[in-house]
Amino acid sequence: MSEYEQTDTKMSVVPVTAAAAASENVQTGLPKSMVPDPGWFDGDQSKFEDWWRGIRLFLKSNRVTGTDDRITAILAHLRGGVAGIYAQKKLDEFDKDKDIQDWDEFVKEFKTTFSDKSKAADTEWKIETFKQGKRNTADFMIEFEVLAMKADTDELHAIFLLKKNV
């Protein structure tokens, strides 16, 4: 591969660094990931849900499967404010405890720390008052299941609400 690549029709050249080549998997011949890096998370709770979905997709698409590797990758994406302090605290804990971390425990703590509490309360209220109306049954069920998951509604209560609200 050439040290330079063409960037537009004006024939300007930009050096291709080893880091850029590696990030695009040029040297390994693997296709570039279809899922973009979700970027930094600064602790803004209103952005947590979208960032959390993005980081989970990013980890899955890059085949980061080991518990310690997933936790490390998530902590590496935390910057500034409360998120930076949290990352430092967790790294200090990991340095002291050489055992493998528990993924489910980490996720529960992470969500509790950064999820938007007002959004969860709004979702709980919305599922309690959610009606099918004239909406298509399949669309209603999909939205109901998403609300039940976001509101962390147990199965029995979800069935009760479903019967009440149809």
pLDDT per residue over 54-95, tens digit each?
Answer: 999 999 988 888 888 999 999 999 998 889 999 999 988 888
Nearest to 70 by CA among 106, 31, 23: 106
Minimum mean pLDDT among 65-74, 110-119, 137-146: which range? 110-119
**Is the pLDDT confidence value at 42 over 80?**
yes
| Cα Dmax for the chain | 66
Question: What is the per-residue pLDDT for 33?
Answer: 67
Task: Return the higher-pLDDT residue of 71 and 8.
Answer: 71
The lowest-confidence range among 1-10, 40-49, 112-121 is 1-10
Model confidence at 107: pLDDT above 80: yes
Cα separation of 122 and 131, whole Å? 15
* 157, pLDDT greater than 90: no
**Kind and range of the H or E run holding 4:** strand 4-6
Q: What is the mean pLDDT of the chain?
A: 77
Residue 126 has pLDDT above 90, yes or no: no
Q: Assess contact for 33 and 21: CB atoms under 8 A.
A: no
CA distances from residue 92 to 70, 86, 102, 103 in whole angstroms, order as listed? 17, 10, 16, 17
Sorting pLDDT into bands at 50, 70 and 90, what band is 149? confident
Q: Supply the pLDDT for residue 31.
A: 57
Q: Is the dihedral of CA 50, 36, 44, 88 positive or negative?
A: positive
